[in-house]
Amino acid sequence: MTAPTKQIMLDNVETAINAIAAGGAVQSYNISGRNIQKYSLTELINLRTQLKKEINAESSTGTTNYAGFDR
């Protein structure tokens, strides 16, 4: 099994944020004495920001921009 790409991770984070915003997700729950905690909305937003930065940095690698000056 291969690791998910950053774009797939970003898509999953977006889905999780939308689920929380729509009220369709829980933050934590208990099953047979085991406590399960999910990412908070703040953590998801921070993760989304980081993934977007990384994706943008990867897509701009090798690109050179030049400024032109008119006389």
List pLDDT tens digits, range 16-49: 999 888 887 777 888 898 988 888 899 999 999 9
- Which residue spans within the chain are E strands per DSSP? 28-31, 34-37
Q: Is pLDDT at 65 greater than 80 in this prediction?
A: no
Burial class (CB within 10 angstroms; exposed 0-12, middle 13-18, buried 19+) of 13 = buried
- Structure token digits, residue 23: 């009220």
The residues that bridge with 29 in the sheet, in sequence order, are 36
Residue 7 confidence (pLDDT): 95
Q: What is the pTM of this model?
A: 0.69
Among left, alpha and beta (phi > 0; psi -120 to 50; other), residue 63 is beta
